Structure 1
Amino acid sequence: MVQSNVLEQARAFIYSNARLLDRKRFEYLFEGGSKEEVLRALKAYQNDDGGFGNALEPDIRCPNSQPVPTEYALYVMSELDCFDADILNGIIRYLKAIAVPGGGFPLAYRSLQQYPHAPWWKIEDDGAASINPTGQIMGYLLKQKTRNDFVEEEWFKRSLNFVKKTMEQGTPAGYHDGIQWITFLEHAPESYRSIDTKRRFDEWLASPGVIERNPHAEGYVHKVLDWVTGPQSYAAQFVTEAEIEEHLSALIAEQEGDGGWPINFPAVSSLGELEWRGSLTVERLKTLRAFGKL
Structure 2
Amino acid sequence: MKTITKNQIIKAGEYIKKNCRPLEKARFGYLFEGNNIPGAIVEELKKFQNPDGGFGHSLESDFLLPDSSPMATTIAFQFLEEISDPNDEVIEKAVKYLEKCFVKDRQGWFTVPKQVNNYPHAVWWHWDGVKKQTVIDDSWGNPTAEIIGYLNKYKKFITTLDLDVLTENTISYWENRREFPSEHEVYCFIRLYNHLPLDKAKRLEKKIKEATEKLVCLDYKKWNTYVPQPLQFENFAKSGIEKNLDYLVTTIGENGVWSPNWIWHQYEDVWLEQKIKWEGVLTIHNLGILKRHNRIE
The TM-score range, normalised by the shorter chain, is 0.7 to 0.9
Instruction: Classify 1:246/1:191 alpha carbon distance in 2 versus 1 (closer, same or farther; 3 Å).
Output: closer
Question: Paired residue for 1:201?
Answer: 208
SS at match of 2:124: coil
Question: Paired residue for 1:106?
Answer: 110
Aligned match of 1:67 in 47, 65, 70?
Answer: 70
CA deviation map 1:216-249 (0-9, x unaligned): 3142112122332xxxxx225x22xxx3332222
SS at match of 1:187: coil
Moved more, 107-116 or 156-165: 156-165
Amino acid at match of 2:144: T
Instruction: Classify 1:71/1:101 alpha carbon distance in 2 versus 1 (closer, same or farther; 3 Å).
Output: same
Moved more, 213-222 or 90-99: 213-222
2:193 aligned with 1:185, yes or no? Answer: yes
The answer as to whether partners of 2:38 and 2:86 remain within 8 angstroms in 1 is no
The answer as to whether partners of 2:56 and 2:73 remain within 8 angstroms in 1 is yes
Following superposition, the deviation at residue 68 of structure 1 comes to 0.8
* Percent identity for Structure 1 against Structure 2: 26
Question: Paired residue for 1:266?
Answer: 263
2:236 aligned with 1:235, yes or no? Answer: yes
Moved more, 99-108 or 121-130: 121-130
2:123 aligned with 1:116, yes or no? Answer: no
Instruction: Classify 1:288/1:192 alpha carbon distance in 2 versus 1 (closer, same or farther; 3 Å).
Output: closer
Q: How does 1:216-231 map to 2 (within 5 A)?
A: 216-217=221-222, 218-228=224-234
Q: Structure 2, unaligned stretches of length 5 or more?
A: 265-269
SS at match of 1:100: coil
SS at match of 1:154: coil
Instruction: Classify 1:106/1:192 alpha carbon distance in 2 versus 1 (closer, same or farther; 3 Å).
Output: farther
Instruction: Classify 1:220/1:89 alpha carbon distance in 2 versus 1 (closer, same or farther; 3 Å).
Output: same
The answer as to whether partners of 2:146 and 2:192 remain within 8 angstroms in 1 is yes
Amino acid at match of 2:260: I
Instruction: Classify 1:203/1:114 alpha carbon distance in 2 versus 1 (closer, same or farther; 3 Å).
Output: same
Instruction: Classify 1:291/1:149 alpha carbon distance in 2 versus 1 (closer, same or farther; 3 Å).
Output: closer
**Count of residue correspondences:** 279
SS at match of 2:122: coil
Q: How does 1:26-65 map to 2 (within 5 A)?
A: 26-33=28-35, 34-65=37-68
2 CA distance for matches of 1:105 and 1:191?
25
2 CA distance for matches of 1:274 and 1:137?
27
Q: How does 1:70-149 map to 2 (within 5 A)?
A: 70-102=73-105, 103-124=107-128, 125=132, 130-144=140-154, 148-149=156-157
SS at match of 2:81: helix
CA deviation map 1:70-91 (0-9, x unaligned): 0011111112143311111211
Question: Paired residue for 2:218?
Answer: 213
1 CA distance for matches of 2:49 and 2:61?
15
List 4+ stretches of structure 1 deviating above 3 A.
Answer: 126-129, 153-159, 189-195
The answer as to whether partners of 1:110 and 1:123 remain within 8 angstroms in 2 is yes
The answer as to whether partners of 2:53 and 2:94 remain within 8 angstroms in 1 is yes
The answer as to whether partners of 2:194 and 2:201 remain within 8 angstroms in 1 is no
CA deviation map 1:178-227 (0-9, x unaligned): 111111122224564464x43233122123xx111122314211212233
SS at match of 2:145: helix
